[in-house]
Structure 1
Amino acid sequence: MRLHRTALALCLALGPATALAQQPPPPPAAIAEARERYQRGIDLFEERNYDAAMAEFQRAYELTHNPAVLFNISATHELTGHFVEALDAMLDYERRAPAAAVQQRRADVDAALGRLRSRIGTIVIRFEAAGLDVRVDGLQRPRSSGNIELRVAAGRHRVSLSAPHYQSREAEFDVAGGSTIVVSEPLTPERAFMAVECNVHGAEVLVDGHPLATTPVTSPLPVPEGSHHVVVRRAGYTTYETDVNSVGAGARVRADLAWADPMPRDVGARVTVQANEPDIVAMIDGRRVASDGTALVPPGRHTLRVERADFLPDEREVDLAPGRDNALSVFLLPTPAYRQSYSSSRRRALIAGGVVLGVGVAVLGGGAALFFLNEGTLSDAIASRDANQSELTACARMAVCASTRSPVQVEQARNDASVDVDNATTLRWASVGIMGAGLITSIVGTVLLAGAPSGSRFERQAALVPRVGFTARNLQLAWSF
């Protein structure tokens, strides 16, 4: 393309163009700089350094606003493929330059306009979206809420569309010169996300009356942007309801469900907790409940915790069926300190019982030995007493004793034997008393041993075995689980 050379020199020499005579003329320094930049632009153009030439032409136009420069700006845009900008610059030149100058270059102007129009197509965006953002080949175009007409150079172009609350869309179009492509498919409304947290597992989550999930909800729920009515419910619990405005990923629902009060009997689960120790404290989800089967709790998964003084707590997850009894067995283990104390008490009780039983057996044995030894002595004393008495009776009847002993001697022997009988009889009862004391002591020792703390109390294999214990007042019978 042939550049505009002489017309600009004339215009610069005379000052601003006639069409711009109403504006104050640029200062001489600006005119001189513009002339210099204009000539440099021509030189760069002829060297095919079009970007640098465009910069010089643009600066020359900024200094003088002389429309003659627009002709060269249009020519430079055309050679760099910016056909839309070239057409706008040429139309601006045609509108603003003096009529005589335009008429003088009419053939060039008309040829350029026809050539440029044949290389430009139109993309029409035809749908409503408030705040629509349009980008062509990555460059943002002015926002609009109505139809948008975009003039583009012929060729392939990437069009990106985005708007608040809508999903962005991007597409490529092959635009032929002089053609029009219409984009009328509306953007898809953007999906929002709602995070739902609940303290109860297995609760149903409904959004606007539609069931969407069951707790625990591990990932946010996709919902349309806007206001929603959220319900979280489960049988045996209170129902949670709230209204949430969901925009983007910021909506969050925290539903804390409480046990229904009163609990419906056909819904509630009855709980019986059996433990290897008495006096336990049973808690479900941190709430204390009776362990005898009278407690009604919501069905489903719960955390059961069983505690007792001096024992380690037992905590586990349990599934409770509705409308029936749920028997739960728990084996509590002692704390190390209590186990040591219990073992020490058991050792002391066993030692004391063993000592008492040993003493009792020894006393009983000694009393029995004394009894049996004394029985022979007693028999001999009785026999001697009876023999002497018979002999003494015979002496008195016959006046003469059959033996060589005198009646006085026989009587003395009888009396001595009677004393021996009395002594042996006393010793007999003393030995019986000793045996009784030994027997009682042995019984006490046996009771102490039987009442000693069980050595298998903390062993699981000892479940469901009787445990016998004695107190000062009665016999206690219990069962270990």
Structure 2
Amino acid sequence: MSISGTFRLSVFCFFFISLFSENLFCLDESSGELSKSEANKEEAILHFKKGVEFYKAKDYAPALAEFLKSFELQPNWAVRFNIGICYMETGKILEALDEFQKYLEEGKERVPANRRKEVEEYIKKIESKIGYIKVESNEDGAIVSLDEFHEYKTPLSEPIPVVAGVYSIIAKKDGFIPFKKEITVATGETVTLNILLKPVQEE
């Protein structure tokens, strides 16, 4: 899912401008010095600029780190687009999906029509590569791990999005025998995982 050079530059020019467009800082008039909020904004802009330069050099991992730091210092809905693009370029499509969805949700009517269409296309492409795991359990408060990397706690209100593939599932809760199962998830498929935890028998 690479982005063309011309489009890439237009993307970052647009969102760099948008970073300045909102009232994100204030002056401490009593001292005449930068307030903490404005100081954060200045640092956020520096990280944003570094992110743009790294991205233009096709160095996507450090670009992602810089955009994430910029967002941490000064949360701005528009920067989520940049973060999402970098996640795509580094192969982290689930994280990209999450950022693009939040970008549309938080930006609402402020998202230009052409940009909304582009983001919706990215979401559509990502969704064509993933499936979902719907977790059902007889016990609330159980910790469910996928391949020992991602953890969730029951009950889960929404299915878990995953890249199509085979997953080792382990569910644990104090006082219960661990539940283990391997499942295969195909693209566009929602697999229901029924977790039945049995109490440990006291001797």
- TM-score, with length taken from structure 1: 0.36
Asked if structure 2 preserves the Cα contact closer than 8 Å seen for 1:15 and 1:31, the reply is: no
Specify the alignment match of 2:162 in structure 1: 152
Distance 2:21 2:189 in 1: 43
Deviation of 1:112 (Å): 0.8
Distance 1:95 1:146 in 2: 21
> Residue 6 and residue 45 in structure 1: after superposition, are their counterparts in 2 closer, same or farther (change >3 A)?
closer
- The amino acid that maps onto 2:14 is A
Deviation of 1:146 (Å): 6.5
Deviation of 1:107 (Å): 2.7
Task: Say whether residues 1:10 and 2:17 are aligned partners.
Answer: yes
Distance 1:179 1:122 in 2: 6
Asked if structure 1 preserves the Cα contact closer than 8 Å seen for 2:141 and 2:154, the reply is: yes
What CA deviation, in whole Å up to 9, does each residue of 1:190-221 have, x standing for no partner? Answer: 3xxxxxxxxxxxxxxxxxxxxxxxxxxxxxxx
Deviation of 1:58 (Å): 0.7
**What SS does the corresponding residue of 1:94 show, helix, strand or coil?**
helix
Specify the alignment match of 1:204 in structure 2: none
Asked if structure 2 preserves the Cα contact closer than 8 Å seen for 1:82 and 1:153, the reply is: no
Choose the corresponding residue for 2:116, options 87, 91, 106.
106
Asked if structure 2 preserves the Cα contact closer than 8 Å seen for 1:70 and 1:92, the reply is: yes
Task: Say whether residues 1:30 and 2:40 are aligned partners.
Answer: yes
Deviation of 1:73 (Å): 0.8
Distance 2:95 2:116 in 1: 20
Distance 1:164 1:132 in 2: 8
**What SS does the corresponding residue of 2:53 show, helix, strand or coil?**
helix
Specify the alignment match of 1:119 in structure 2: 129
**What SS does the corresponding residue of 2:105 show, helix, strand or coil?**
helix
> Residue 110 and residue 116 in structure 1: after superposition, are their counterparts in 2 closer, same or farther (change >3 A)?
same
Unaligned runs of at least 5 residues, structure 2: 27-35
Q: Which has the higher contact order (CA 8 A, sep 6+)?
A: 2
Choose the corresponding residue for 1:173, options 158, 183, 186.
183
**What SS does the corresponding residue of 1:138 show, helix, strand or coil?**
coil
- The amino acid that maps onto 1:108 is E
Asked if structure 1 preserves the Cα contact closer than 8 Å seen for 2:143 and 2:173, the reply is: yes
Which residues in structure 2 correspond to 1:280-299 (within 5 Å)?
none
> Residue 49 and residue 9 in structure 1: after superposition, are their counterparts in 2 closer, same or farther (change >3 A)?
closer
Which residues in structure 2 correspond to 1:205-244 (within 5 Å)?
224-225=201-202
Distance 1:148 1:104 in 2: 30
Asked if structure 1 preserves the Cα contact closer than 8 Å seen for 2:81 and 2:103, the reply is: yes
Asked if structure 1 preserves the Cα contact closer than 8 Å seen for 2:136 and 2:155, the reply is: no
Specify the alignment match of 2:68 in structure 1: 58
Deviation of 1:29 (Å): 3.2
**What SS does the corresponding residue of 2:144 show, helix, strand or coil?**
strand
**What SS does the corresponding residue of 2:159 show, helix, strand or coil?**
strand
Structure (1 or 2) with the greater helix fraction: 2
- The amino acid that maps onto 1:104 is N
Specify the alignment match of 1:79 in structure 2: 89
Deviation of 1:141 (Å): 2.5
- The amino acid that maps onto 1:7 is F
Deviation of 1:49 (Å): 3.2
Specify the alignment match of 1:329 in structure 2: none
Asked if structure 2 preserves the Cα contact closer than 8 Å seen for 1:131 and 1:164, the reply is: no
Specify the alignment match of 1:88 in structure 2: 98
Distance 1:146 1:65 in 2: 27
- The amino acid that maps onto 2:21 is L
> Residue 28 and residue 182 in structure 1: after superposition, are their counterparts in 2 closer, same or farther (change >3 A)?
same
Specify the alignment match of 1:128 in structure 2: 138
**What SS does the corresponding residue of 1:97 show, helix, strand or coil?**
helix
Identity %: 25
**What SS does the corresponding residue of 2:151 show, helix, strand or coil?**
strand
- Structure with max Cα Rg: 1
What CA deviation, in whole Å up to 9, does each residue of 1:442-478 have, x standing for no partner? Answer: xxxxxxxxxxxxxxxxxxxxxxxxxxxxxxxxxxxxx
Deviation of 1:148 (Å): 6.5
Structure (1 or 2) with the greater strand fraction: 1
Asked if structure 2 preserves the Cα contact closer than 8 Å seen for 1:134 and 1:162, the reply is: yes
> Residue 113 and residue 132 in structure 1: after superposition, are their counterparts in 2 closer, same or farther (change >3 A)?
same
**What SS does the corresponding residue of 1:67 show, helix, strand or coil?**
coil
> Residue 141 and residue 82 in structure 1: after superposition, are their counterparts in 2 closer, same or farther (change >3 A)?
same
Deviation of 1:66 (Å): 1.5
Distance 1:146 1:97 in 2: 26
- The amino acid that maps onto 2:171 is L
Task: Say whether residues 1:182 and 2:189 are aligned partners.
Answer: no
Distance 1:183 1:146 in 2: 11
Distance 1:31 1:175 in 2: 43
Task: Say whether residues 1:67 and 2:77 are aligned partners.
Answer: yes
